[in-house]
């Protein structure tokens, strides 16, 4: 009989190398979330330091190579790479239908999404035992996120000078015109999406699966107040409904009492009281838009959706006149910049945007990716290990709400926050695997 084969030993990274890689990742996230774009004439949003840091780490990273050599590769990273490949393929169609300038912008957008893929693969191959555990790094992300959201609140109140590359989104009040809170991000919807993500984290940390709370109550309470205030000041409505979906999924997942939902609502009420006291005119405008969205959606759908229905009709008519584009599309992130459609519009819908720009191939790949994300997150959320359960529940509840936000926003372009989301996803997958 053949001798029994010894069990394969887990790969061990030197402690010094692990600390260097974790400090690089911390530097990357700090620059990603806390630095504004630079006034550099590139694209329509300026340059940023974070992609350069990601590029530096890419050449010196050994984890990426081991992740790509894994055989067989798990379903989630395979589908993520497949979707990135579909986006890269669509650049050829952008060149064919819109010219080299638009194609260059499309390639740049694919490169920014490539950062998301890289951070996911890097985190997925992180060694289990190291000096800085995943929860400690999550606390670091929480701290810099609170700093970014707090700056957004201060920036809204004092209306600081807008850096280069910012979208100017205004709120027309009776006596003044104010710029919506967007903090250090390109637009306010990104800030709102980002705040919703960490509000979900606070909810998961406040009600752990096995009753052992590892986060100070005062820190969670202060963070909830800051994030909820920034969410309101952003003026975005869909992230509020997405957050409600996330809370509902959490209540279903943990089978907790309604006290969890009550506490979440209390944080939002506290933030609303702060906004009403400091900027009463803005609060009246926001509350009217929020309640009007529910009452007048069926009567005036295009007005409630800020003209999105008219843009969606333009894109639907384009596909009806050119049905052959349903297969591969016209190129990733070309709709707002190309003249090929006949008019430049903003889709503000992830699924419709992918259908026009990458065709059915891209939509199917993205749908499969979302199914893999939910499946991986559910498996981690039900894991007996506390760390896996925390990260799994975090990304599961948030991504269910994210699917709602995809109906009125193109979340694939949120490259400033997507790496954080996929780091949490990779951590959940890695911890549940162990």
pLDDT in the model for residue 179: 86
The DSSP call for residue 170 is E
Q: What is the average per-residue pLDDT within 82-93?
A: 96
Contact partners, residue 140, CB within 8 Å, separation at least 6:
26, 29
pLDDT in tens, 90-108: 999 999 999 999 999 999 9
Q: What is the mean pLDDT of the chain?
A: 85
Give the pTM. Answer: 0.90
pLDDT in tens, 285-327: 888 888 877 777 777 787 777 888 999 999 999 999 999 999 9
Report the C-alpha gap between 189 and 348 in whole angstroms: 11
Cα 134 to chain centroid distance, Å, stands at 19
Instruction: DSSP for 321-368, please give it.
Output: H-TTHHHH-S-TT-TTT-SSSSS------HHHHHHHHHHHHHHHHHHH
Q: Is the pLDDT of residue 163 over 80?
A: no
pLDDT in the model for residue 370: 98
pLDDT in the model for residue 87: 97
Higher pLDDT, residue 19 or 145 = 145
pLDDT in the model for residue 45: 66
């Amino acid at each position: 009989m053949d001798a029994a084969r010894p069990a394969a030993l887990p790969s061990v990274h030197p402690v010094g190398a692990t600390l260097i890689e974790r400090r690089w990742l911390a530097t990357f996230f700090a620059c990603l979330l806390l630095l504004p774009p630079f006034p550099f004439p590139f694209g329509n949003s300026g340059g940023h330091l974070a992609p350069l840091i990601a590029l530096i780490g890419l050449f010196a990273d050994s984890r990426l190579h081991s992740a790509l050599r894994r055989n067989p590769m798990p379903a989630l990273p395979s589908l993520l790479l497949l979707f990135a490949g579909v986006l890269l393929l669509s650049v050829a169609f952008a060149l064919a239908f819109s010219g080299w300038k638009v194609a260059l912008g499309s390639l740049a957008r694919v490169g920014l999404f490539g950062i998301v893929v890289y951070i996911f693969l890097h985190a997925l191959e992180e060694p289990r035992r190291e000096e800085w555990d995943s929860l400690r790094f999550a606390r670091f992300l929480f701290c810099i996120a609170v700093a970014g959201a707090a700056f957004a609140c201060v920036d809204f109140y004092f209306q600081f000078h807008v850096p280069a590359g910012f979208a100017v989104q205004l709120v027309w009040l009776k006596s003044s015109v104010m710029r919506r809170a967007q903090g250090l991000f390109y637009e306010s919807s990104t800030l709102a999406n980002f705040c919703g993500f960490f509000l979900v984290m606070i909810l998961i940390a406040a009600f752990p699966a096995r009753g052992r709370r590892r986060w100070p109550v005062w820190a969670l309470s202060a963070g909830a107040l800051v994030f909820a205030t920034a969410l309101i000041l952003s003026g975005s409505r869909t992230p509020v409904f997405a957050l409600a979906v996330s809370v509902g999924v959490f209540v279903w997942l943990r089978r907790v009492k309604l006290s969890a939902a009550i506490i979440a609502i209390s944080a939002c009420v506290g933030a609303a009281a702060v906004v009403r006291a400091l900027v009463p005119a803005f609060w009246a405008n926001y509350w009217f838009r929020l309640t009007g969205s529910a009452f007048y959606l069926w009567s005036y759908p295009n007005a409630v959706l800020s003209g999105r229905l008219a843009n969606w009709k333009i894109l639907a008519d384009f596909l009806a006149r050119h049905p052959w584009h349903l297969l591969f599309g016209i190129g990733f992130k070309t709709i707002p910049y190309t003249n090929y459609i006949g008019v430049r519009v903003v889709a503000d819908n992830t699924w419709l945007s992918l259908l026009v720009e990458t065709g059915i191939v891209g939509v199917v790949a993205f749908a499969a990716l979302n199914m893999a994300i939910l499946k991986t997150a559910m498996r981690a959320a039900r894991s007996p290990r506390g760390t896996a359960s925390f990260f799994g529940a975090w990304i599961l509840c948030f991504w269910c709400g994210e699917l709602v936000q995809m109906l009125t926003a193109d979340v694939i372009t949120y490259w400033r926050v997507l790496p954080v989301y996929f780091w949490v996803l990779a951590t959940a997958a890695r911890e549940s695997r162990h």
